[in-house]
Amino acid sequence: MKKIAVLVSGRGSNLRALYGAIEQGKLDAEICLVVSNKSKAPALEFCRNKNIPCQICKLKDFESREAFFDHLAGIVSLSGANLVVLAGFMMLVTPNFIRHFPNKVINIHPSLLPSFPGLDAQKQAFDYGVKISGCTVFMVDEGCDTGPIIIQRAVEVLETDTEETLADRILTVEHDTLWRACKIMLDGKVSVSGRRTLIKEEQ
C-alpha cells in the first residue's frame, strides 16, 4: 500500500478530509506519519484519536532551518512515505528537504496561483476584489508557492461573500481536491516538464 506523510501546522481539516477519502475507499493509501511544527495543532488531536503516528518537530529546537528540515527529512524517510503532503504547513521548506524527495512533495494553497501566494490568500483575494478565486495543488519547489501546478479548481466570489464565507467555500473545494491530487501522484500519472505538469488520462 502507498504511504503518505502529512506535514501540518494547525487545524488539520485537509488532513481529516484526506483520511476520510481513504476511509471511503476513494484513495488506496495510508497516512503513515503526520508531523506538526506546532505542539498545540488540533491536527495532532485527530491523529491521536485515529491512531495515526504523529510527531512534533519545532524549529526552535534546532540550530538552523536547514538542521530542522534535515531532521524532518530523516523522519519522513524513515516512515517510508511515497508522497509528502503539506496540508496547512505554514513554513517555507528548504532546498535540502526538497532534494530528499524529488517531485514527491506537494502543497495545497487557497488561491489560484500565481495570484495571492503566501499568507492569508483568501483575504488577499477578497480584498483585491477578484470575481473568481479557488485552490491550487502544486509540487513544492524552492520558492514560495511557485512550483509546477498539478490541479486548480475555481470558486466564484459572490457579492454577498465575506472573507470568511469565501474561505469556507474554498476550503470545501480544497477537501475534494487534495485526495484527487494524491491519487494521481501515487498512481504515477503526473510528470513534470519545465513549469508544466503532464497528467496521464485514465484509460
By the criterion CB under 6 A, which residues form the site for ligand GAR?
10-14, 87-88, 108-110, 121, 145, 171, 174
Distances in Å between the Cα of 157 and the Cα atoms of 11, 122, 123, 133, 172 are 24, 10, 12, 7, 14
Which CB, 141 or 174, lies closer to ligand GAR? 174
Minimum distance, C-beta of residue 202 to ligand GAR, in the bound complex (Å): 26
Residue 64, burial from CB neighbour count under 10 angstroms (0-12, 13-18, 19+): exposed
Q: Which three cell numbers stand for residue 141?
A: 519547489
Q: Find the residue with minimal CB distance to ligand GAR.
A: 88
List of E strands, the chain: 2-8, 29-36, 54-56, 83-86, 105-109, 132-139, 149-156, 190-193, 196-199
* Residue with Cβ nearer ligand GAR (14 or 197): 14
Query: What are the residues facing 86 on neighbouring strands?
Result: 7, 107
Q: Which CB sits closer to ligand GAR, 80 or 95?
A: 95
Q: Is 175 a catalytic residue?
A: no
Residue with cell 492569508: 120
Please report how close the Cβ of residue 164 comes to ligand GAR at its closest, in angstroms. 12
| Annotated active-site residue in 71, 100, 109, 175 | 109
Which sequence positions are flagged as catalytic? 109
